[in-house]
């Protein structure tokens, strides 16, 4: 293993608590644990809440990979039991509870996607149903006896809901106990999680100590903002970058990030070292690095992580062609025009807009172009005698072609 002073900057990169004393405590304990000269047992749990992962999910996976590369034992825990309850950490109301069938279906895709970051040969995959499904009611009562209601109501999201008179369901309290039981079952040294997960991680630490184990070190990380640069990355919000998205789409979305969000992305989701990131940050600050160049390097790195270097090269060429050289992409979907069509209907029917209402909004916002000319009238009827290009935003193109005489009925 590398010397402790070489491991610590890598392992603490991106760690955020919001409490300097908490950070000092965890950093000191991590250094002491590393000094034992043995591989540490490190884990992070992932509840299957959707079939697709986005970059925000990969922050802790990237940290698990760093632990792996330094010779430590990484556990990828699938929360197939906790997923039945739903984590209330980032919610202002109770999650809809999933069925076992829904959880199982979503969990199938998680490991495959995670192995785009983690080393499959070094990753231990566990499911927390292995130990949680066998707990008796007496076991649950015992776990609950170690905590007070006041401790749970002190959580920020619970406190807000309680103050507003919104319901807080008993099963939501049980979630933290179940996650804490994971740490006990696996006798872990370190647990990773988002900053909104700190309470749950500390419950595991408390349970380990109460039940005679050495309390785990908790490392939490900031929540990744989406492509808007401000809101939490979320598929629901539509500001996400999916790790299974096409390389060109992924590259383009990274290039749409506001400049202020770049360093967070470099720090949390790339393979760059702390020293490399510090150099980029300094270059941006003193003007020796252009924000566009830094963003292109970031986009290339992210595409390379999930699709490989060759795909990153092609995505960059596509971006330069379409956005920097203002040329059309070499390949695009084709839509056959059989008759003159209102632009709103055309956008919806061709798939360039999800609905007619979205099509109207795109036109009103100036986001629709026909052969490079902005479409300004919602009532405009489109008729093509030869090939034309319909464009929505900066990344969606469709080639319009007239129907041949033989296509007419």
- The CATH number of the domain where 386 resides is what? 3.10.290.10
Q: Are residues 83 and 177 in the same domain?
A: yes
Q: Are residues 316 and 352 in the same domain?
A: no
- Mean per-residue pLDDT for 86-110? 67
pLDDT digits (tens, 9 = 90+) for 130-145: 999 999 999 999 999 9
Residue 302 has a pLDDT of 97
Q: Is the pLDDT of residue 342 over 50?
A: yes
pLDDT band at 89 (very low <50, low <70, confident <90, very high): low
Residue 91 has a pLDDT of 47
Q: Are residues 100 and 200 in the same domain?
A: yes
The domain that holds 157 is classified in CATH as 3.40.50.620
Higher pLDDT: 203 or 373? It is 203
- Decide if 241 is inside a domain: no
Give the angle subtended at the CA of 136 by the CAs of 135 and 140, to the nearest 5°.
80
Residue 93 has a pLDDT of 45
- Mean per-residue pLDDT for 338-361? 91
Q: Are residues 200 and 281 in the same domain?
A: no
**Sign of the Cα pseudo-torsion (89, 112, 192, 261, in order):** negative
Q: Are residues 345 and 205 in the same domain?
A: no
Give the angle subtended at the CA of 104 by the CAs of 188 and 56, to the nearest 5°.
60
Q: Are residues 153 and 298 in the same domain?
A: no
Q: Are residues 37 and 170 in the same domain?
A: yes
**Rg of the Cα atoms in the chain:** 25
Helix H or strand E segment including 124: strand 123-127
Residue after which a domain boundary falls, among 324, 359, 383 = 324
Highest mean pLDDT among 34-38, 315-319, 355-359: 34-38
Q: Is the pLDDT of residue 43 over 50?
A: yes
Answer for the pair 390, 370: CB distance below 8 angstroms, yes or no.
yes
DSSP code of 364?
Answer: H
Q: Are residues 338 and 317 in the same domain?
A: no
Residue 236 has a pLDDT of 79
Residue after which a domain boundary falls, among 304, 324, 344 = 324
pLDDT digits (tens, 9 = 90+) for 207-248: 999 999 999 999 999 999 999 999 999 887 889 999 989 999
Q: Is the pLDDT of residue 397 over 50?
A: yes
Q: Are residues 39 and 182 in the same domain?
A: yes
pLDDT band at 1 (very low <50, low <70, confident <90, very high): confident
Residue 408 has a pLDDT of 45
Residue 263 has a pLDDT of 96
User: How far apart, in whole angstroms, are the C-alpha atoms of residue 406 and residue 303?
Assistant: 43
Q: Are residues 101 and 133 in the same domain?
A: yes
Output phi, psi for 391, to 5 deg: -125, 135
303-306 long-range Cβ contacts below 8 angstroms, 24+ apart:
303/247, 303/250, 303/251, 303/254, 305/116, 305/117, 305/269, 305/270, 305/271, 306/116, 306/243, 306/244, 306/250
Q: Is the pLDDT of residue 151 over 70?
A: yes
Q: Are residues 386 and 254 in the same domain?
A: no
Q: What total number of domains does the chain contain?
A: 3
- Mean per-residue pLDDT for 188-210? 95
- Decide if 238 is inside a domain: no
Residue 96 has a pLDDT of 61
The domain containing residue 392 runs over which residues?
334-407
């Amino acid at each position: 293993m590398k010397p402790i002073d070489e491991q610590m900057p890598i392992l603490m990169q991106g760690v955020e608590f919001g409490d300097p004393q908490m950070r000092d405590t965890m950093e000191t304990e991590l250094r002491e644990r590393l000094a034992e000269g043995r591989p540490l047992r490190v884990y992070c749990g992932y509840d299957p809440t959707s079939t697709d992962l986005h970059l925000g999910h990969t922050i802790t996976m990237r940290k698990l990979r760093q632990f792996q590369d330094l010779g430590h034992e990484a556990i990828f825990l699938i929360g197939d039991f906790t997923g039945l309850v739903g984590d209330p950490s980032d919610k202002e109301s109770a999650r809809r509870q999933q069925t076992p069938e829904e959880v199982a279906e979503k969990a199938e895709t998680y490991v495959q996607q995670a192995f785009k970051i983690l080393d499959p040969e070094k990753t231990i995959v566990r499911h927390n149903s292995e130990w949680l499904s066998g707990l008796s009611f007496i076991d649950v009562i015992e776990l609950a006896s170690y905590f007070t209601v006041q401790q749970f109501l002190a959580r920020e999201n619970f406190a807000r809901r309680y103050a507003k008179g919104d319901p807080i369901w008993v099963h939501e309290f049980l979630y933290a106990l179940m996650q804490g039981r994971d740490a006990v079952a696996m006798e872990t040294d370190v647990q990773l999680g988002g900053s909104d997960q700190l309470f749950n991680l500390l419950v595991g630490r408390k349970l380990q100590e109460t039940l005679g184990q050495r309390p785990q070190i908790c490392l939490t990380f900031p929540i990744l903002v989406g492509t808007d640069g401000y809101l939490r990355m979320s598929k629901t919000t539509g500001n996400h970058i999916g790790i299974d998205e096409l390389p060109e789409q992924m590259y383009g979305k990274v290039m749409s990030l506001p400049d202020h969000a770049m360093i967070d992305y470099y720090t949390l989701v790339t393979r760059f070292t702390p020293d490399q990131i510090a150099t980029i940050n300094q270059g941006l600050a003193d003007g020796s690095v252009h924000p566009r160049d830094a963003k292109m390097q970031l986009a290339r790195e992210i595409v390379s992580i999930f699709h490989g270097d060759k795909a990153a090269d092609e995505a960059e060429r596509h971006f330069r062609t379409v956005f920097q050289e203002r040329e059309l992409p070499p390949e695009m979907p084709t839509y056959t025009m059989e008759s003159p069509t209102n632009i709103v209907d055309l956008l919806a029917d061709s798939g360039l807009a999800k609905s007619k209402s979205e099509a109207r909004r795109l036109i009103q916002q100036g986001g629709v172009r026909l052969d490079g000319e902005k479409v300004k009238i919602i009532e405009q009827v489109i008729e093509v005698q030869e090939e034309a290009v319909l464009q929505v935003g900066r990344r969606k193109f469709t080639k319009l072609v007239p129907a041949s005489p033989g296509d007419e009925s």
